[in-house]
Amino acid sequence: MFAYFFLIRNTKLNTMLKIGCHVSIAGGIVNAPQRAGELGCEVFQIFTRSPRGGAAPELTPEIVKNFKSEMKKWNQENCYIHTPYYINFASSNKSIRDVSARIVREELDKGSLIGAKYIMTHLGSAGEYSEEEALKITAKGIKKVLKDYKGSTVLLLEISAGAGKVIGDTFEELQTILNYIDISIYHKIGICLDSAHMFAGGYDIKSEDSMREVIKTIKKTVGMDKIKLIHSNDSKIDLGGKRDRHDHIGQGKIGEDGFVNLMKAFPDVDFILETEHDKIVEDIQKLKSIRARI
């Protein structure tokens, strides 16, 4: 039924695609793998610092060692880091741009310390700049982040929902940013999809036909291989509503079929839930059930 673009890629789906959610680091990051394991996660995502501001907790060699030990103990294959919410690469305030680049670089370095596969970041808002100017300035900030970077963790740019002048709500914008990136660091950057952001931004992933068009757009722009992680959230917002409001799997405007489509399109890309924890176990189980059916 879904053979139009899935047939070749879905042969190893159940062995490759991992499912998890965002978990708290309350009490220290060493506690995160256990929280993830107890929720039924196979992979997980964390903040390493408060997402709204403040100093970052120190990662001592002992903490790093204990974290890696806990990863093995709780059978967590990979962890991912989300940067703070205040990142804005295209702010008209140079200090904010500089801080954004510094914080994202710090997160990359911390990711390399603890063995995180990816960090992902929002890009910010264009503010008083034109779209073209904002994209150029954003690319300049990303290049600053990656200057002389030798770590193992890869930087992911997250697609946005498109409210106001938020940057990166289309694959065309993301590709424009990538076009400004030097070839020497191009391999250090990927894309993080967010199903709720995509849907609110106007990308219909609910049906076979509409998903086919989304895939065509991705292939023409950033390319399928640049998609490294998927934030799997249903949406409280209608298609094209341009707002970021997550809902539980199957309870929002996307519905379970959208996640079937995403899993079949990206069988080797991990799925991370960012839904409220009142039903997070149910959401994890729903995604696992979809994966099993496929």
pLDDT tens across 33-76, in order? 999 999 999 999 999 999 988 888 999 999 999 999 999 999 99
**pLDDT score of 205 more than 60:** yes
**pLDDT score of 7 more than 80:** no
CA 251 to chain centre: 21
Residue 15 has a pLDDT of 54
200-205-210-214 Cα dihedral, nearest 10 degrees: 80
Checking DSSP bridges between strand 19-22 and strand 270-273, what pairing results, if any? parallel
Say how far apart CA 129 and CA 94 lie, in whole Å. Answer: 13
Residue 163 has a pLDDT of 85
What number is the average pLDDT over the span 170-190? 95
**pLDDT band at residue 8 under the 50/70/90 scheme:** very low
Residue 162 has a pLDDT of 85
What number is the average pLDDT over the span 80-102? 96
Say how far apart CA 42 and CA 44 lie, in whole Å. Answer: 7
**pLDDT band at residue 218 under the 50/70/90 scheme:** very high
**pLDDT band at residue 269 under the 50/70/90 scheme:** very high
**Which CATH number applies to 3-293: 3.20.20.150, 3.40.640.10, 3.40.50.620, 3.40.50.1820?**
3.20.20.150
- Residues 175 and 221 sit within 8 Å (Cβ to Cβ): yes
Helical H runs in the chain? 3-6, 13-16, 32-39, 61-73, 94-114, 131-146, 171-179, 195-200, 208-220, 256-265, 280-293
What number is the average pLDDT over the span 130-156? 96
Spatial CA neighbour of 125 closest among 165, 170, 83: 165
**pLDDT score of 220 more than 70:** yes
Per the prediction, the chain carries an average pLDDT of 93
- Residues 82 and 47 sit within 8 Å (Cβ to Cβ): yes
Give the side-chain half-sphere CA count within 13 A for 109. Answer: 14
| Reported pTM | 0.93
Identify residue 1 by its one-letter amino acid code.
M
Determine whether 184 is exposed, middle or buried from the number of CB atoms within 10 Å of its CB (0-12, 13-18, 19+). Answer: exposed
